[in-house]
Amino acid sequence: MNYSKTSYRKSMGTSSYPTATTKIIRKSRVSSVGSNYGSPLHFKDGVVSSLSSKGATDIKCTREKEKKEMQDLNERFANYIEKVRFLETENKALKEALKKQKRDFNIEPMKAMYQTEIDELKKQLLTTTDENATLKARIATLEEEMEGLNGQIRHLKDVNEEQQNTIENLNEEISRRMSECEMLRRKVQELEKQLSDWKTRHSHLDSQLQALRIELQEETASRLAESTRAQSLEDELNFLKDIYETEIKEYKALLAKDNSFPDMREYWTSEMGSCIKEISQEYESQLEALASSLEARYESQISEIRMGTSKGAVELTQLTDENRRLKMQKSELEDRIRDLETQLAQLTGQLRSVTMELETTINDLDHEKEAHRNDVERLQLELEGLMKELQDLMDAKLSMELEIAAYRKLLEGEEHRISHSSMVSSIGGFQSSSEEALSNAIMQRSTAFKSSMSAEGSIANMGAARITVHRSSSGPVAVVEIETNGQYISLEETGARKIGRPTNLKGWTLERQMEQGGKLLSHKFTDDVIFTGKIPIKVWGSKYSSSASKNDIVSHINEWGSATAVSKTVLKDENNMEKAVFIIKSISDRN
């Protein structure tokens, strides 16, 4: 697109871009247009020969790059011009619309309305001017009246000041007379107070005299009571002394065998002497302090009484004599108290020495009891360990006897006269139902083995079943028996429980797991199950509940399974810890 210079500048009149930049773009555009027409280039002589192939390539690339930039700028400039033209067209249309609205708008009604308002305002201005003149005249009249009133006010102020001065003088006179009355009242109160003080002092002295008489009587009574109490204490101490001497003789007779017992009499005698000395010094210091305080009190009372009336002097003399007499009684009582305290300290020392000897003897006896108790506990632990070892040996013996009986039965299979009961030997002449079940199982296995032997005609290369039983208990209860047909499982209390505390199975669980992932039979004790003595408790299957006794338990499990089945029976406590195990194993051997 080619534009004239005038139209170009007109279109750039509303642009915010600088004119210089626009000129550069136009010049570049002209150059680009000229290059499009393919006008020939003229160079000076020798320039073409000096250009290398590399320089020509660089110049060509630079020209192409500049050409692309100019094309982009031309496109942007064309878009900008289109925007400017669109805005000019829009502004022109808006101006025409504004002119049209101005032509269509009629201002005559508004002029009439404003003229009416102006006329009304002029009328109001005239009315206000008239009112202002009237008010000014009235203000002048009021100012004259105010001057007269101000004169009256000044006169009244002068009269008021005179009256105020008179009032102040009268107030001063009243306050002076009131102060005189107050001073006289205070003097009267002081005199009344002095009179009451004299009366109070007199009554106080009288009450002190009465109190001193009462104290004297009480002191005399207390002295008599103390003497009586001291006599009773002496009798009691003599009685206790006789008792303790008798006990000491008995303990000495008990301790005569021990020659290494230390004699602490001299040590405790010296200690008691020092303690008695300290106590006597403390009592003396307290008595001296009490005496000094009483003397000071009496002297102060005497000095107060001397300052009183003549009657007070007579009473003071009486009090002095009474005080002297009380001091003499006090000194006598103090001497008596010292003697009694000395005797009491001696008896206390003897009592302490006897008490120490008694405590030493008791401590020795306690140590001996503790040593005996420790020995008993140690022996109890050793006994429990031996019982556990004995139980393990009995289980091993039972397993060995079962194996021996099985092998013997297999070797003597053709002899039917041998009793089947001799296959399993009982331990100590006792055979439980579980051991009978194992015996029957071995008998059944031997019968089957005999039939197979008779069918094949030889006993070579046949397998024998070895059955072992293992019982263990780490708590107060053990699993002792499983009935042959699985009717019940018998539990029995061991000697491992705490003394004085019966075993309660509430919250415990009894489980029997059959071999090779068989069914798990589990029974949880939800009620109190308490052992009494060595009586076993049987947990019956619900199928055989009619055979259960009063102390037995009926489980929700139908039956516990055959005693010949390989299984593991476990008794767990409330914390799911294994406390007893009963294991039946079957191991196949080749002979």
In this structure, are strands 578-590 and 567-572 parallel, antiparallel, or unpaired? antiparallel
Q: Stretch 100-124: mean pLDDT, rounded? A: 80
Pairing of strands 488-493, 477-482: antiparallel
Q: What percent of the chain has pLDDT over 90?
A: 2
Q: What is the pLDDT of residue 88?
A: 92
Confidence check: pLDDT of 34 > 70: no
Token pair for 167: 């009032």
Per-residue pLDDT tens for 243-302? 877 877 777 777 665 544 455 556 666 666 677 777 767 767 777 777 777 777 767 766
pLDDT at 86: 92
Closest CA to 569 of 505, 466, 491: 491
Domains defined for the chain, CATH in brackets: 1-32+65-103 (no CATH), 431-453+463-590 (2.60.40.1260)
3-state secondary structure of 24: helix
The pLDDT of 355-382, averaged and rounded, is: 81
Q: Produce one character per residue of 246-278: b if its CB has 16 or more CB atoms within 10 Å, e if not.
A: eeeeebeeeeeeeeeeeeeeeebeeebeeebee
- Asked which of 34-48, 241-255, 297-311, 558-572 is least confident by mean pLDDT, the reply is 34-48
Contact 247, 358 (CB under 8 A): yes
- Is the confidence at residue 126, as pLDDT, over 80? yes
pLDDT, one tens digit per residue, over 421-476 is: 433 333 333 444 444 544 555 455 444 444 444 433 333 333 345 667 778 888 88
pLDDT band at 316 (very low <50, low <70, confident <90, very high): low
- Has residue 96 got a pLDDT over 70? yes
Whole-number average pLDDT of the chain: 72
d(CA 321, CA 477): 93
Which pLDDT score is estimated for 45? 52
Query: Alpha carbon of 581 to those of 226, 293, 434, 474, 504: distances in Å?
Result: 78, 87, 14, 9, 18
Question: How many Å apart are CA 235 and CA 343, to the nearest integer?
Answer: 12
- Report whether pLDDT(134) > 80: yes
What is the DSSP secondary structure assignment for residue 561, as one 8-state letter? -
The reported pLDDT for the residue numbered 172 is: 84
Q: In the predicted model, what is the mean pLDDT of residues 523-545? A: 83
| Alpha-carbon gap, residue 434 to 485, rounded angstroms | 10
For the chain, the farthest-separated pair of C-alpha atoms sits apart, in whole angstroms, at 170
CA distances from 20 to 9, 12, 23 (A): 12, 11, 5
Is residue 29's pLDDT more than 50?
no
**Local structure of 23: helix, strand or coil:** helix
